[in-house]
Amino acid sequence: MIAATPSATYGAGRQYGPRRWPALDLARDPAVADRAQPDGRGEGLPSGSEVGGYRIERLLGRGGMGAVYEATQLSLQRRVALKVIAPRLSADEAFRARFRREARAAAAVEHPNLLPIHEAGELPEGALFIAMRLVDGGDLESRLRAIGPLGAGEALPLLGQLADALDGAHAAGLIHRDVKPANVLLEQRRGGVHAYLTDFGLVKDVESSTLGHTDTGQLLGTVDYMAPEQIAGEDYGAGVDVYAFGALAYRALTGSVPYRRDTVAATLVAHREAPIPVASERSPGLPPAFDRLVARAMAKDPDWRARSAGELMRELAEQLSAGAEEAVRPDESPTVADGPQSTARADASPQTTPTRAIESDGGKPSLIRQTVIYGAAFTPIWVVAYIIGRSL
């Protein structure tokens, strides 16, 4: 068992959000109710039935890989989330081998923000399953649909927990490949919300030579959060999770995905070619330091991306603590064509944000920066709480 100890640097696992989020029932929440409706992929397992040592209580939802049920593990009388893989996938030998390998890898990592896996195996009729901890609070995607974008004070501790989870997984040699709000489960606890990163069904070993596609050429991941190199089917590393982390942060802070396009193809092109979006343009009043986080995470070239999600959160905390933040203007957002000077390199100083060179009247390039100074007397209380949490 690999224990991925959470970093004490930026207080992951501590909650300082100012608002208590309402509890959402997955079976009744209209934002996700459609996922629990019959969809032509079979009736599923009826409530009350017993299979493979589990009693099915209710269907929680369906997805491309199968169905998730609330179930009771009979041997321990423990409530679990039972994910049953779709028959078409369970029958595929290549998928079965990958499923077993990745389930073992994910179960080997222990971290307070990675959803615990209790068991993985095969049901009597041949379907693959994975039993996980049951979290009653719903997922981040349904929360965002229900209550809209998060304020900076709510997003800060949540992003810190997810960054810690990703760093722990990467340290254990795993890449998630499908980081998105729907794979972030939320649990209300005393003092705040605890986040779990889940669904490592697309996880890959860092040392593997497998690209961003399955053996049959199927693209792995969710297009709204997919890194350019993952889209292109190139070899990649943990940077794809850093990119997705930035896209998730943008979604949480603005309520919108980074590149909202009419077609999947247009979305894929935008990830590779469109300027990096600026969160504060959609959420006025958002501290500009969050813009830098998104820009550093979503750099088109992985070599110019932040090395880890934890590094991004440490830089964010330093900027908020210092009281001086910089934001990239919309027309200065880095793009692939801009070259190395367009984005903040991983080893760049956290105090400066390289931007695209803008031609001045004299024809010479200049760097345009917008700096907002927050005096100590006006520092928001959530910033103070977060900085205190970092030192504990």
Which residues are the active-site residues?
178
Residue with tokens 């299979």: 51
- Three-state DSSP at 12 gives coil
Which two structure tokens, joined as six digits, stand for 13? 């696992």
CB 259 within 8 A of CB 271: yes
Single out the residue of 287, 118, 111 nearest to residue 194, CA to CA.
111
Q: 243 vs 20, 22, 184, 353, 388, CA distance in Å?
A: 29, 29, 16, 17, 28
CB-based contact 260:272 (threshold 8 Å): no
As a whole number of angstroms, the distance between CA 229 and CA 237 comes to 9
Q: State the amino acid at position 305 in one-letter form.
A: R
Q: What is the DSSP string of 204-249?
A: EETT----SB-TT-PBPS-GGG--HHHHTT----THHHHHHHHHHH
The token duo for 199 is 């669904």
- The label of the residue with tokens 């029932």 reads 25
Write the single-letter amino acid at 198: T
User: Could you give the CA distance from residue 322 to residue 374 in angstroms, rounded to a whole number?
Assistant: 9
Report how far residue 83's alpha carbon sits from residue 66's, in angstroms, rounded to the nearest whole number.
Answer: 7
DSSP reduced 3-state for 57: strand
Amino acid at 45: L
